Each structure stands twice: as C-alpha cells, then as structure tokens.
C-alpha cells in the first residue's frame, strides 16, 4: 500500500503515523505486511459479532422454528381454501394459461389468516438459519485464532439483568397494594441503594427523584394508575379519595 | 389553547435538550416513555411536546460529544471525532458554537425545504392522493420495509430476521373477520394482539434501563467551557458550501424511508472530506467535519416527517411513534392529508421552526447548566428510566399484564443491545406489518389476479423501485464478497 492509496482510501482517525515513508524508498525495505489497522470512517458503522452471538443466533433460529411448527395449528391453515388445481391456478396467475371456468379471486386467497404469517416465516426462517451459520463461522474463526470464545461474562450480564426484571415485576404487583406513591418511592430509594449509591445524599436524591416523578405524572398529568389500592382502602373516606385522585 | 401549546414547545425543547445531553437516554427512549403520558393532553399539545423532544435532542447530544468524548445520542457519535479533538486543543466553546450553528442551519434548511415543497407541490399532491389506493399504500409499505433492511448495510441479514420477528408479532392476535387466533396459544392477553406502545417502551426504554443498570458508571472528565458561543455562525458562513451540501444530504436521506441520520452523516462527512482543502484534519478537530456531521443529522427529523405524512409509511422508529400520536389526534397520515388537513401540516412545520429557534436561544444561555446533566451516573439513570416506563405502559390500557410484557420485551431488547443487533427493525416490522396487513385486507376485493397488485401506475412504479433496490442489495453483496476474497 503506498502513500497515495493510504491518503485516498483511509481516513486516519488516530494520531499514530504509518511507516509509509520507507515503503516507497528505492533502497528502503518494502514490507509485504499490511500496516496496522487504523480506524476508518467505515469502521464507525462496522458490525462485529461478539461473544454470545452464536448462542443467541441459535436461540433465535429455534424460536423461528417454533413459530414454523406452530404455524400449522395456530393460523387457520387447517381451514384453508385453495383452488383444487394449484398448478393450473398458478399458471393462470402468471399469465401462462387461460381458464374458461370461474376462478377464485387472488384477493380471497390473500385474505386468509395463514397467508401473511406464511410470508413472515418465508423471510424469518432463511434469515435466522443464515444468521446462525454466519455466527458459527465467526465462532470457528475465533477458535482457530485462539481468541476468547467463552460466554461466561455475557451470561453473567444476562443473569444480572434478571434481578432488575424481577424488581420491575414486583413493583408492578405492589402498586395496587401500596399505591403508586409508596411503591415508587420505595423502589426509587431501594434501587439507588442497591446500585451502589449508598451515602445519604444519593439515597435522598433517589427518594426526591421518585417523589418528583409521582408529582409530575400522577398529581399534575393525572396519568392512570391502578384504581383500587389496598392501603388506601384502609384510610378514612375523605383522605382515601384525595390519595386515589392525586397519588 | 395557545398558552398550552407554547408551554409544550418550551417544555419539549428544553426537555429534549436535557434528554439529548444526558448520555444513555436519547430521543427514542424519551418519546417511548412520554408517548402514553401525552394521550392525556390535548392533541396538538402532545404532538408539539414530542416534536420538541425529537427536534432538540440532537442539539443537546452534541454537548457531551464535544466536551467529554461521549455522544449524548447515538447519532452524535461522529461529532466526537472532531468535536472532542477541538476541546483538547482548548477550543471547546468554538466547537459547541459550530455545532449549534450547524444544527440550527440543518434543522431550518430541511423545514424550509419541506414547507416549499408543500407550497409548490401541495395542489399536485392533493391530486396525487387520489391515485393512492389500498394497493399503492401496500406497495409503499413493502418498499419502506425493503429500504429499512437495505439501510442496515452491515447487518442486513440480522435486520431482515428481526423485521420478520416484528412482522410476526404484528400477526399475533384474533383475526376479527374469521375469529381465528393466530399464535395466541389460548392466552387471553394475546387475543387483541400486542400494543405497539408496550413493545416500543420495552424494546427502547426498558432495554436501555437494564443495559445501564448492569453496566458501569462512566467517569467523565471535567468539562471546561470558556469563551463565547456566537462565533460559529460566522464560521458556518465561511464554509457555506459544505454546510449547504450537508443539509441537502440530511434532507434527502431523511425523506427516504429507512435511511436516517447515520447514513446521512456518513455521506455528508465523506463528501465534506473529499471537497475540503484540509482533508487531513478530519478526525483531528476539523471544523468542517463537525459542520458536516451536525448539519446532516439535524436535517433528518423534519425531512423524515415527509414520507410519514405523505404516504403514511414511517421510515424510522421515531416517526413510527409519532404516527401513534397522529392517529390519536384523528389525523390519518397519507396522501389524503394534503386535502383533509393542510393547515395541520403547516402548523407542524412552523412549530418545528419555532422549536429550532427556541433551542438555539436556550443553548446560548443554558449550556453551562446543561453541562452539569452530563454527570448523572448511568446506573442511577437506568433505575429511573425503569420507574418512568411503568407509568407510561400502565396508562395505555390500565393493564398490569402490559407492564409484564413490556419488561419481557425490554429483556429481549437488552440482549439485542449487548450483541449490537439493531432494534429498529423489530418495531418497524410491527408497524409496517400492521399497515401491510390492513391494506391487503382492505384491497383484497380488487385483486383478481397477482398482476392486480402492481398494475396501477403508482403501485407499478413502486414495485419497479423495490426490484431495483433488491437488485442493488444483491449486486453489492456479491461485489463485497468478491472484494473480501481478493
């Protein structure tokens, strides 16, 4: 690669200099090695398959196959109405034949509930299988060059995320019990503490932010929250109405 | 009504600035969270509020990109290369000034082009609207789908697969005409199908919340900002060729469904470097590089509204979310809008123009305060995105099951983010799939043979374009494969 090629084709986004000067010198050493890769504009948009890609690609292919096997029982395929002689019908549709008898309108076939799901699966299954294959090739390449392929780190992140999913689901179930105000303040304060912001200033900020969310969305914007709250039902009537309306 | 609209413009603009400036949020997440909340507001107020967030977030995203080398929104990634380099040279104020001026020019340019197009072509578009039937909109939706997949140059296969999943999710539910349940597996919740907002909040907001919470907090360096912020306009005028070209790229790319800010920036940046007198400076603090990236990315939002309004086909996730607001306001995007709601169109773009002006004015005074927002820790932010998402999702149908499914979609989105797989195809598969299904069902009575799908002038033309795009995809794939072998 000479200087002109580098200037024209590579946008160097870092400060390292290329040892280009020596390559064109008549007495200099002409290396066959490709210079160290520099970041190019294209690289900003480049996709690289990381660890965990193969496992998730396999999972998506299995999900696609699951939908494929479910298709026959869950889309009305059993009640399909198709012309008796499909070959002749297709030839007619393509203009290769003329049929004198009355023909089923193509629109009636398209309207059937299984048609669009079938088209989806015709896109989904080949792409899922292709994706799995490409991912496997990258995995094999990484193994061949003894690059790390362990997914332990990724799995740890997936498992870690489960904890927060559980918190959200618990929050969802506690709102009808404790009300939006208490549940949100509790979750906001607990999450602040749980995520490692443990000094009182941060815990206070968490509580204050939760309170602000309740005031803005529930009190002012009157966003809907569950109408029947167990803890508010224990309050005196006037106070209950106030809490149900504004918190 | 007018004070409410003005308040919405101010809140949306300033809110969008802050949302864009805080790395980790972005307009998609903010709009996903606000969308259900705005159903309780007046239609125009909710629309203007969301437009304010959409239009101003990219202004704000440039601030951390320039000051601490962290893009506030994904589309500001390219801004870090030249913007942060300028900061390291002690020219932070100059870089910010250039970014603001470029964003303002890009935003106003595309809005004015859109308004001119409406004035000039409005009468013809009204007539053109009469040519658009069900089959034509169907073809337009198919074209949008193909363009969306083609736009993911590096991940086309994955985009197609995820689009297929999104399309399949749109099919789930009870088909009302024949009472057949598609993929409901006898789960009562699934009979009406998945609500689009549940999927959007899950895929965008909750996935990011999970991603932030399992990650680490960034430790951004201290940002020092000294100097004035007005010099950018003078420099913009001195480099007007690159500025105008970048704005044109952003506008054109915004109009094409599925393309968006990234491609606009890529072409704009590459062209700016090609015509610059100092190409070697690009990536090392070139003002022209900064102008190219910021002008083009801010020209896209207004232009992206055009295919949505004209054809009823959203080209990206944000415009897909806007479509929900339009429907809620009783405004049906499509060719008929030019005849039924012309005043609405002019109001919309005028509001965008006011938002751009307001944001620029706000930035000149509020930058030093907005900079403080950059330092909100990521994990703390993630927790509160999660809390905010609940209220948005629950308020759709008063159904706690929506919240549970939202977090399930959020978990799926989290895994996709970890793998760097695109999220937008799932959402657009859901949206475009619904449009395709609706139009196919409505137009089925007129389809006697397969040729009837494409024998109208508009649908035929769109079909030819679809074939050209598919041909182009195949040709570039073969070409890339040959080059990689060489």
Note the pLDDT tens digit of each residue in B14-31. Answer: 888 888 888 777 888 888
pLDDT, residue A133, reads 94
List the 231-290 stretch of B: residues with Cβ below 8 A of A: 262, 266, 269-270, 273, 279, 282-284
Q: What is the pLDDT of residues B97-129, one digit of tens each?
A: 999 999 999 999 999 988 887 777 766 666 666
Which of these, B465, B437, B358, B407, lies nearest to B169 by C-alpha position? B437
pLDDT, residue A41, reads 55
Which of these, B157, B150, B485, B472, lies nearest to A134 by C-alpha position? B157
Q: What is the ipTM of this complex?
A: 0.81
Radius of gyration of chain A (CA): 31
Highest mean pLDDT among A3-17, A41-55, B215-229, B470-484: B470-484
How far, in Å, CA of B235 to CA of B240, rounded? Answer: 8
Place A7 in a pLDDT band, splitting at 50, 70 and 90. Answer: very low
pLDDT at A44 over 70: no
How far, in Å, CA of A138 to CA of A48, rounded? Answer: 9
Contact A107 B452 (CB under 8 A): yes
Question: Average pLDDT for residues A204-214, to the nearest whole number?
Answer: 93
B203-215: string of b/e by CB count within 10 Å (b at 16+)? bbbbbbbbbbbbe
pLDDT at A246 over 50: yes
User: Based on the structure, what is the number of domains in chain B?
Assistant: 1
Identify the closest residue of chain B to A157 by CA–CA distance: B214
- Pick B400's closest partner by Cβ from A41, A74, A172: A172
Q: Is B481 on the interface with A (CB under 8 A)?
A: no
**pTM given for the model:** 0.82
Contact A107 B445 (CB under 8 A): yes
Q: Residue A148 burial by CB count (10 A; 0-12/13-18/19+): exposed, middle or buried?
A: exposed
Structure tokens belonging to residue B82: 């030249």
How far, in Å, CA of B391 to CA of A175, rounded? Answer: 10
Contact B398 A131 (CB under 8 A): no
- Pick A223's closest partner by Cβ from B158, B391, B410: B391
User: What is the least distance, in Å, from the CA of B151 to any CA of chain A?
Assistant: 11
How far, in Å, CA of A119 to CA of A121, rounded? Answer: 5
Question: Average pLDDT for residues A24-48, to the nearest whole number?
Answer: 55
Domain range for B469 = 2-485
Question: Average pLDDT for residues A201-216, to the nearest whole number?
Answer: 92
| Residues B287 and B98 sit within 8 Å (Cβ to Cβ) | yes
User: What is the least distance, in Å, from the CA of B442 to any CA of chain A?
Assistant: 9
Percent of chain A scored above 90 by pLDDT?
Answer: 36
pLDDT, residue A110, reads 82
Number of inter-chain CB pairs under 8 A, A vs B = 235
Contact B213 A221 (CB under 8 A): no
Contact B380 A210 (CB under 8 A): no
pLDDT at B422 over 50: yes
How far, in Å, CA of B428 to CA of B360, rounded? Answer: 32
Contact A75 B180 (CB under 8 A): yes
**Backbone angles phi and psi of B175, in degrees to 5:** -80, 120
Distance of alpha carbon A77 from the chain centroid: 30
pLDDT, residue B125, reads 64
Q: Is B15 on the interface with A (CB under 8 A)?
A: no
Helix (H, G, I), strand (E, B) or coil at B482: helix
Neighbours of B274 (CB within 10 A): 10
């Amino acid at each position: 690669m000479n200087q002109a090629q580098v200037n024209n084709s590579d946008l160097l986004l870092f400060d390292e200099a290329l040892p280009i000067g020596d390559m064109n010198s008549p007495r200099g050493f002409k290396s066959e090695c490709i210079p160290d890769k520099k970041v190019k504009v294209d690289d900003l948009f480049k996709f690289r398959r990381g660890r965990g890609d193969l496992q998730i690609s396999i999972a998506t292919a299995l999900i696609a196959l699951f939908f494929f096997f479910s298709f026959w029982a869950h889309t009305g395929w059993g009640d399909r109405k198709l012309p008796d002689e499909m070959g002749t019908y297709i030839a007619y549709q393509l203009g290769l034949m003329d049929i004198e008898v009355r023909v089923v309108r193509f629109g009636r076939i398209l309207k059937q509930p299984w048609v669009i799901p079938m088209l989806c699966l015709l896109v989904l299954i080949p792409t899922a299988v292709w994706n799995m294959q490409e991912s496997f090739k990258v995995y094999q390449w990484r193994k061949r060059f003894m690059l790390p392929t362990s997914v332990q780190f990724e799995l740890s992140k997936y498992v870690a995320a489960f904890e927060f999913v559980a918190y959200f689901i618990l929050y969802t179930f506690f709102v009808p019990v404790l009300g939006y105000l208490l549940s949100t303040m509790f979750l906001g304060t607990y999450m602040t503490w749980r995520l490692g912001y443990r000094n009182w200033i941060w815990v206070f900020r968490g509580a204050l932010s939760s309170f602000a969310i309740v005031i803005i969305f529930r009190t002012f914007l009157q966003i809907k929250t569950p109408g029947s709250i167990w803890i508010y039902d224990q309050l005196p009537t006037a106070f209950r109405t106030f809490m149900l309306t504004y918190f | 009504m007018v004070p409410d609209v003005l308040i919405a413009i101010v809140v949306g603009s300033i809110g969008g600035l802050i949302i864009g400036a805080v790395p980790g949020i972005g307009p998609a997440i903010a709009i996903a969270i606000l969308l259900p909340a705005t159903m309780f507001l007046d239609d125009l107020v909710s629309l203007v509020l969301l437009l304010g967030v959409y239009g101003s977030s990219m202004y704000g995203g440039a601030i951390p990109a320039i000051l601490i080398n962290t893009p506030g929104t994904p589309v500001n990634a390219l801004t870090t290369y030249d913007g942060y380099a300028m900061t390291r040279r002690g020219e932070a104020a100059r870089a910010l000034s250039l970014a603001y001026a470029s964003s303002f020019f890009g935003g106003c340019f595309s809005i004015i082009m859109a308004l001119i197009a409406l004035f000039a072509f409005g009468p013809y578009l009204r007539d053109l609207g009469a040519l658009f039937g069900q089959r034509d909109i169907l073809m337009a939706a198919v074209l949008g789908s193909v363009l969306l997949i083609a736009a993911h140059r590096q991940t086309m296969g994955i985009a197609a697969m995820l689009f297929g999943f999104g399309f399949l999710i749109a099919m789930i539910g009870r088909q009302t005409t024949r009472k057949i349940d598609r993929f409901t597996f006898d789960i009562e919740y699934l009979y009406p199908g998945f609500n689009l907002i549940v999927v959007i909040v899950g895929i965008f907001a909750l996935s990011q919340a999970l991603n932030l919470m399992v990650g680490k907090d960034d430790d951004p360096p201290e940002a020092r900002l000294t100097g004035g912020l007005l010099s950018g306009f003078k420099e913009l005028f001195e480099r007007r060729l690159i500025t105008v070209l970048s704005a044109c790229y952003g506008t054109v790319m915004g109009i094409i469904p599925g393309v968006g800010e990234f491609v606009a920036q890529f072409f704009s940046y590459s062209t700016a470097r090609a015509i610059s007198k100092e190409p070697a400076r690009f990536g090392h603090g070139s003002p022209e590089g900064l102008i190219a990236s910021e002008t083009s990315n801010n020209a896209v939002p207004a232009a992206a509204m055009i295919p949505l309004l004209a054809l009823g086909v959203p080209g990206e996730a944000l415009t897909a979310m806007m479509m929900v607001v339009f429907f809620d306001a009783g405004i049906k995007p499509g060719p008929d809008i030019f005849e039924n709601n012309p005043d609405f169109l002019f109001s919309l773009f005028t509001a965008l123009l006011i938002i751009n002006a307001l944001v620029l004015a706000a930035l000149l005074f509020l930058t030093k305060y907005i900079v403080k927002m950059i330092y909100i820790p990521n994990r703390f932010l993630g927790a509160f995105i999660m809390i905010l998402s609940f209220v948005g999702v629950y308020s759709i149908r008063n159904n706690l099951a929506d919240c549970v499914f939202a977090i399930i979609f959020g978990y799926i989105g989290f895994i996709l983010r970890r793998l760097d797989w695109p999220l937008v195809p799932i959402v657009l598969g859901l949206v475009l799939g619904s449009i395709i299904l609706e139009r196919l069902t409505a137009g089925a009575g007129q389809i006697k043979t397969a040729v009837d799908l494409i024998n109208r002038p508009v649908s035929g033309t769109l079909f030819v374009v679809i074939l050209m795009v598919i041909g182009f995809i195949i040709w570039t794939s073969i070409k890339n494969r040959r080059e990689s072998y060489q």
